Amino acid sequence: MSDLDKRKTYILDDMTNIEQYRPILEKDNFQESEPHWRRVSKNTITLFQVLIDQDLIDLVNILTHYPKYIEWVCEHFRYAYSYSENDANINAASELLFIGEDYFSKQFVRNVIRKLPKLDDMNSQQLADFSIAIENNHSSWHPIITSHLIKTVIKTVHKLNLHPLQKIVLTKTILKIKCTDTYLYDSLDRDAVLDIPYMN
């Protein structure tokens, strides 16, 4: 299976699982030339806010079938500070970065990364299993996702009260994976312009 096929395996080829959203999207009068909050209807804004707050699978499915919303969602993600406990599906987060590359901003990428599963509470066995998952999937994930997860695993392993040799064993596999920094999003500065426009 190619890397592209791996990326697409969780995305449905038909519309059955997003039929519930079709009435809102079909009624939306998308105005590409309007400012952010006026470009889509209030119902569509609410829909995307809910989907951003979830695991991102349905969000990516919708954007795959309704690509006209990709730019809007990437921009909206900058303002979408999620305080829920819903982690992103790693494959979906990766695909969102792939399809949103033309519309990257530091805050957009940061907020996608913030939604990835947290590793702080993982024990050594869980981290070992997660490292294997990284090894098996990194070639189909967006480089930003792969790089972040590798760095997070290494950082988390070093915090564990383990013998140095155990730490080496836990990180040996992922240390072989080349990390590529394709977009610098983790600098201390925020986006140059992050004034949040009000809906009116």
Has residue 141 got a pLDDT over 70?
Answer: yes
Of residues 71 and 19, more confidence is placed in 71
pLDDT in tens, 54-67: 999 999 999 999 99
Instruction: With a cut of 70, say whether residue 12 has pLDDT above it.
Output: no
CA distance 39 to 199: 11
Distance (Å, whole) CA 126 – CA 64 = 32
Contact in structure between 142 and 115 (CB atoms under 8 Å):
no
Per-residue pLDDT at 145 exceeds 70: yes
Residue with tokens 């992050």: 194
State the chain's mean pLDDT as an integer. 85
Question: Number of C-alpha atoms within 13 angstroms, CB side, residue 96?
Answer: 31
What average pLDDT does this structure show over 28-44?
90
**Residue pointed to by tokens 């596999």:** 173
Q: Are 106 and 185 in contact (CB under 8 A)?
A: yes
Residue 49 pLDDT more than 60? yes
**Domain boundaries along the sequence of the chain:** 1-87
Give the mean pLDDT of 147-152: 96
